[in-house]
Amino acid sequence: MKEENRALEMSHKALSDVAAEADNRGITIQRVGVKDVHLPIQVRRKTAGFVGALARIDLAVELPHHFRGTHMSRFVEVLFDFGQHPIGPGEIAEMLAEARKRLGARRADLRLAFKYFITKSAPATSAESALDYDCLFEGEQDESAFVFTLGVEVPVTLLCPCSKEISSRGAHSQRATVRVKVRTSPGEIIWIEDLVSLIEAQGSSGVYPVLKREDEKSVTEQAYDNPKFVEDILRDVVSALRGDSRITWFEVSCESMESIHNHSVFAYQQEERKP
Amino acid sequence: MKEENRALEMSHKALSDVAAEADNRGITIQRVGVKDVHLPIQVRRKTAGFVGALARIDLAVELPHHFRGTHMSRFVEVLFDFGQHPIGPGEIAEMLAEARKRLGARRADLRLAFKYFITKSAPATSAESALDYDCLFEGEQDESAFVFTLGVEVPVTLLCPCSKEISSRGAHSQRATVRVKVRTSPGEIIWIEDLVSLIEAQGSSGVYPVLKREDEKSVTEQAYDNPKFVEDILRDVVSALRGDSRITWFEVSCESMESIHNHSVFAYQQEERKP
Amino acid sequence: MKEENRALEMSHKALSDVAAEADNRGITIQRVGVKDVHLPIQVRRKTAGFVGALARIDLAVELPHHFRGTHMSRFVEVLFDFGQHPIGPGEIAEMLAEARKRLGARRADLRLAFKYFITKSAPATSAESALDYDCLFEGEQDESAFVFTLGVEVPVTLLCPCSKEISSRGAHSQRATVRVKVRTSPGEIIWIEDLVSLIEAQGSSGVYPVLKREDEKSVTEQAYDNPKFVEDILRDVVSALRGDSRITWFEVSCESMESIHNHSVFAYQQEERKP
Amino acid sequence: MKEENRALEMSHKALSDVAAEADNRGITIQRVGVKDVHLPIQVRRKTAGFVGALARIDLAVELPHHFRGTHMSRFVEVLFDFGQHPIGPGEIAEMLAEARKRLGARRADLRLAFKYFITKSAPATSAESALDYDCLFEGEQDESAFVFTLGVEVPVTLLCPCSKEISSRGAHSQRATVRVKVRTSPGEIIWIEDLVSLIEAQGSSGVYPVLKREDEKSVTEQAYDNPKFVEDILRDVVSALRGDSRITWFEVSCESMESIHNHSVFAYQQEERKP
């Protein structure tokens, strides 16, 4: 169509909806949506109330084979509407229901990644400071089911058992990151705070924003007394997760940024509880 | 053990192997290994010969429940041994066999990510230049099976059909990335070059390192004549992959870095061919 | 010292302060401190009040040649103390004064990077949504001077003038990022909102989180009517900054993620106003 | 101009060169060019010969006030022409001269970032493996001068002196990255291999891709016997650089990824030798 004619025609009719056009390729698209939308949100705390956070969000729906495209602006509208209210698993379900409704979709999924701060007391002086944990809320919903996944990343200190055993003095240690995702039985909620505590207890030592000298002595000695391979911490986290009857599925990885290498070592496990 | 005594004892015996100690937690670890090892490699080309590349590598094995840890240095040794030879699917299988053997493991998996350069001719002037594509070789092997996955990321231009249709002039365009992974029937090989060509043909236009003015006119007009949503390019890539009878499984995503938003839009599909 | 003896000795005396030991290498260190501390902060808005944000922070001081080390925990304590209060240029000066005092340092510098959201109205429908801008507060202070730098990153649409001119139809466009840092005369304040507006006006078009079809038509046509190279937008931003008499120094870069290439093009300028 | 008429007109004349149009804003642009071009290169080794590497490249020129734009395709052509030959400081000067010539520019600058591998022998077993170092070649040239800067990033182990001193057993260690840039007197060359060796010697211990148990014992004990703050390693690197009379300017930073915190600590120094 010539630009000139098109301009004329434009003034006489409503804007056509190209995305709503029929499609004859016969392909239902599993997921289509928006990615890396940044939005301030409110996250429910375990203790009463909620706290502000900054989320990076992906939201997608299934697109039936007979539509050419989806309506991308509606995804962002759904996100903005919910950005004002405290968000927990229940609200994730509501957001997905709203996205499915506004987009006429059978299925939708959502991923919110955000930093969450938890106040920690230093081990000797009890000095308080807040540590940042990378967290995830993931939800997936269709006509019959809603699956919610909670994810946390917990930094810990790992001290190498081999290095300790074979060396006449000292033992190399490093920061490691334990990433855990869990799903629970319907009606059960696991709070970020509790999942973080469960994981942190499995490191050679925890990490802290503020450590005075007495605290540094304490974490150094604790790590030295408690050497762990990535294999050890993975197994200890797996054992703890297996022991929580609310959990129906989990995924665990531990990555250790080795202080004696320029690469990482890691361990990984995914399990589903047999009903 | 006191440091002093330990030092003495050290001088009298071989270094103990802590990783080889027995473990009684009863947990077989699904994957344990090294991550983000950087290594120069040689990649087989479709045309005769091979080309140097820089790989970022993860290598992991299954760890039986009765061992406390694996031997991380052996993973890196396996990688170094194979860094000298041209690598294709066959060599991935050999590396996995070697890793399983040296580590006494039932199962192993490997991931090599590297940039691969393909010479392209500009559409009007035929000026030649080499474009970089992010590629992946992934392999997984146990006693009974070897699965190889090829991955490529292809940058393309997408021009928005809705923007073209509703606007009196112009239409917004942007760079998009199409990520594809494929698996094939035993004995079948798909070359990076061929998979890239299949994908590139589905964009509104391809992208090029060097475009002279005549070329820029050509790609601009080609994109304007060939508007596509992420949904369109995803379906067109899916159709093309379904049409290749060698392919038994694929995963496709297309992410478009929208020029009118500060976020991306995307579409995703994964399919397995029913035998 | 043997571990055994050291443990004994420990119980008899206070923990020694190794960082405070004398140093005889004769080297004053220009900057020493903490990096990538994450902390929730409150940012002053142009309109009354403030808004929560998530900051990534570096804080450093000069270390005199006669001290072996600084006291890293105090840096984090200074940051936590100020995390509770609204932060603007004045508070940056206070934080630096506090850091210098607690660390006995002649000089200190601070860098806070955070996302800041500004509500935008879509050009045709006036639909409101909030766009995220990466911002920076940087401060540097010694006995005699305090220099504050404000930084913003503004995403815009750029449409290529060459592509438009030489093509029979269409013109390629892409998202570009304009990064600006400014310093002002003492007593002058430039708000994030105003600096963003100044920059955004220089793009072929602005970008928006939510655009309905009428809006997409509007931004498409605006961009097509307003083609700009990175050189053009750089010069237009430089002209606008030169025209603001409060500004004494600025740095500008524009990076365009070309939709027809797999690389970016960019332009850069830094200027100081002659007094 | 209407699309229809423009198409007609196009067929009658050569494509116009919009970038070469006159500009009347009176602003000479300091740097304009391409960014993040990926290209295989050949890097000269200290020992005879050269080695393949993968470079990420920025190339920019000054743009006089009377031209509207530069010609971006020529930057990439210059890079491709030189991609075939071994590159060292001399070739950087040639590339800049060529860029200035083809683009009619008074000044040009270039930045090549690449990984460079150096074979290391493990300290006890002498097992050989190649470690990756992030390196930089930077050059800047105008009518009268050429300045070349070599940059290297060296991973090392740091063991905390305070933690060792105050703890009854053990001491926390972590991986740290020392980043150094140097410039030399005309005619003087410093090889990557030599600069890496100078830096690596200042860590509590070096890091290695492959360490057998005897080696792990060795590096653990070496680090424990050689505790260093970031301040210590910074001063030791500064001392070593001051001691090399070929060096006329340097910049050093050391960032330590603390194993007991979720943030880094760092030290920074920049010095110019007074002639």
Domain boundaries defined on chain B? 28-272
Tell me which DSSP letter residue A22 carries: B
Answer whether B240's CB lies under 8 Å from A41's CB. no
Q: Determine the residue among D164, D166, D212, D262 to mutate to test chain A binding: the one whose Cβ has the most chain A Cβ atoms within 10 Å.
A: D262
Q: Measure CB to CB from residue D129 to each of B3, B40, B76 and give the nearest one.
A: B76
> Burial code of A109-132, b = ≥16 C-beta within 10 A, e = fewer?
bbbbbbbbbeebebbbeebebbbb
Apex B17 CA angle, A205 and B80, nearest 5: 95
pLDDT > 90? residue B168: yes
Mean pLDDT throughout C217-233? 98
Q: How many CB pairs under 8 A join A and C?
A: 59
pLDDT on residue C274: 77
Give me the residues of chain D with pLDDT under 50, please: 1-5, 7-8, 11-12
Which chain C residues touch B256 with a CB distance below 8 Å? Answer: none
C28-272 CATH pick, 3.10.270.10, 3.40.50.10310, 1.25.40.10, 3.40.720.10: 3.10.270.10
Q: Which of A40, A80, A209 sits opposite C129 (nearest CB)?
A: A80
Residue of A nearest to B236 (CA): A25
pLDDT for position D235: 98
D119's enclosing H/E stretch is strand D108-121
* Confidence (pLDDT) at C231: 97
Q: Which of these ranges, A54-63, A169-178, C6-15, C205-214, has the smallest mean pLDDT? A: C6-15
- Judge whether A52 is closer than 8 Å to chain C, CB to CB: yes
B80 contacts on D by Cβ (under 8 Å): 129-130, 209-210
State how far residue B159 is from chain C, nearest Cα, in angstroms.
8
Say which residue the tokens 């729906």 belong to.
Answer: A61
- Which among C18, C165, C169 is the nearest to D161, CB-wise? C18
- Chain A residues with CB under 8 Å of C130 CB are 39-40, 80
Q: Say if the Cβ atoms of B221 and C174 lie within 8 Å.
A: no
Among B73, B112, B118, the residue to mutate for chain D (most D Cβ within 10 A): B73
Q: How many CB pairs under 8 A join B and D?
A: 59
> Would you place residue C13 in the very low, low, confident or very high pLDDT band (cuts 50, 70, 90)?
low
DSSP-assigned states of every residue in chain C = --HHHHHHHHTTSPPP-GGGSB--S---EEEEEEEEEEEEEEEE-SSSSEEEEEEEEEEEEEE-TTBS---HHHHHHHHHHHTTSEESHHHHHHHHHHHHHHHT-S-EEEEEEEEEEEEEE-TTT--EEEEEEEEEEEEEE-SS-EEEEEEEEEEEEEE-HHHHHH-SS---EEEEEEEEEEEE-TT----HHHHHHHHHTTSSEE--S---HHHHHHHHHHHHHS---HHHHHHHHHHHHHT-TTEEEEEEEEEE--SSSSSEEEEEEEEE---
**Cβ within 8 Å of residue B137, ≥6 positions away:** B87, B89, B92, B110, B111, B112, B114, B148, B149, B150, B151
Q: C212: nearest CA in chain A?
A: A73
Distance, in Å, from the CA atom of D112 to the CA atom of D150, rounded to the nearest integer, reads 10
* Contact across the interface for B210 and D17, Cβ inside 8 Å: no
Among C160, C219, C221, beta carbon nearest to B169: C221
Q: What is the pLDDT of residue A139?
A: 98
* Contact: B80, D15; criterion CB under 8 Å: no
Q: Give the distance from residue D269's alpha carbon to the nearest chain C alpha carbon, in angstroms.
A: 5
The values of phi and psi at residue C76, to 5°, are -70, -35
Question: Which residue of chain B has the CA closest to D76?
Answer: B210
B263 touches chain C (CB under 8 A): yes
Chains linked to D by 3 or more Cβ pairs within 8 Å: A, B, C
- Residues in A closer than 8 angstroms to C211, CB to CB, are 73
CA-CA distances (angstroms) from residue C9 to B7, C3, D192? Answer: 21, 10, 46
For residue D2, give the chain B residue with the closest CA.
B169
Q: Is the pLDDT score of C1 beyond 60?
A: no
Question: For the ranges B262-266, C153-157, D48-52, which has the lowest average pLDDT?
Answer: D48-52
pLDDT band of residue B275 (cuts 50, 70, 90) is low
Higher pLDDT pick, C47 / C73? C73
Residue B4 has a pLDDT of: 47
Judge: B166–A16 Cβ closer than 8 Å, yes or no: yes
Closest CA to D54 of D109, D110, D99, D112: D112
Q: Which residue of C has its CA nearest to D235?
A: C27
Residues of D in contact with B37 (CB under 8 A): 209
Using the Cβ of D174 and the Cβ atoms of chain A, whether some distance falls under 8 Å is answered with yes
Nearest chain A residue to C4 by CA: give it: A169
Distance CA C116, CA C155 (A): 13
Q: What values do phi and psi take at B263, rounded to 5?
A: -135, 175
Rounded to the nearest angstrom, the minimum Cα separation between D118 and chain C is: 29
Q: State whether residue C122 sits within 8 Å of chain A by CB.
A: no
D77 — phi, psi (to 5°)?
-60, -45
The answer on pLDDT for B28 being more than 60 is: yes
- Decide if A69 touches B, using CB distance below 8 A: yes
Contacts of D52 in chain B (CB under 8 A): 40, 52
Tell me which residue in D53, D76, D210 faces B209 most closely, judged by beta carbons: D76
Residue A243 burial class via C-beta count within 10 angstroms: exposed 0-12, middle 13-18, buried 19 and up: exposed
CA distance A171 to A224: 7
The residue-averaged pLDDT of C180-193 equals 95
Q: Which of chain D's residues have a Cβ under 8 Å away from the Cβ of A171?
A: 170, 220
* Residues of chain A scoring pLDDT < 50: 1-8, 11-12
Residues C139/C147, Cβ–Cβ less than 8 Å: yes
To 10 degrees, what angle do helices D230-242 and D192-200 make? 140
Q: A73 vs C3: CB contact, 8 Å cut-off? A: no
Q: What 3-state DSSP class applies to D179? A: strand
Q: What is the pLDDT of residue B8?
A: 47
Percentage of chain C modeled with pLDDT above 90: 85
Question: Neighbours of B (≥3 Cβ pairs closer than 8 A)?
Answer: A, C, D
- Contact at CB, D129 and B217, closer than 8 angstroms: no
Q: Closest CB to C217: pick one of A15, A115, A130.
A: A15
CA distance B170 to chain A (A): 9
Per-residue model confidence as pLDDT tens digits over D98-140: 999 999 999 999 999 999 999 999 999 999 999 999 999 999 9
The answer to whether C262 contacts chain D (CB < 8 Å) is: yes
Q: How close C120 gets to chain B, by Cα (Å)?
A: 12
Residues near B103 by beta carbon (within 8 Å), at least 6 away in sequence: B61, B70, B71, B74, B75
* DSSP assignments along A217-254, one per residue: HHHHHHHHHS---HHHHHHHHHHHHHT-TTEEEEEEEE
Mean pLDDT, residues B94-103:
97
Residue D169 contacts A where some CB pair is shorter than 8 Å: yes
| Closest by Cβ to A132, choosing from C38, C132, C210 | C38
**Does B190 reach chain A within 8 Å, measured CB to CB?**
no
The answer to whether residue D147 neighbours chain C at the CB level (below 8 Å) is no
Higher pLDDT, A1 or C146: C146
CB-CB neighbors (< 8 A) of B209 in chain D? 37, 76, 80
Q: What type of residue is A21?
A: E
What is the structure's pLDDT at A49? 87
Q: Is the pLDDT of residue B2 over 70?
A: no
D36/chain C closest Cα distance in angstroms: 5
Contacts of B269 (CB under 8 A, 6+ apart): A27, A29, A30, A31, B234, B238, B251, B252, B253
Q: Is D211 in the A-facing interface, judged by CB distances under 8 Å?
A: yes
Distance separating alpha carbons of residues C172 and C169, to the nearest angstrom: 10
Nearest by CB: A35 against B31, B238, B265 = B265
Note the helical H segments in chain B: 3-12, 72-82, 89-103, 161-166, 192-200, 213-224, 230-242
Distance from CA of B257 to the nearest CA of A (A): 9
In the three-class reduction of DSSP (H, G, I as helix; E, B as strand; rest coil), residue D66 is classed as coil
Task: Give A-chain residues touching B16 at CB under 8 angstroms.
Answer: 165-166
C-chain residues within 8 Å CB-CB of A76? 129, 209-210
A171 touches chain B (CB under 8 A): no
Taking the CA of residue C234 and the nearest CA in chain A, the distance in Å comes to 26
- Burial B248-274, CB ≥16 within 10 A → b, else e: bebbbbbbbbbbbbbbbbbbbbebeee
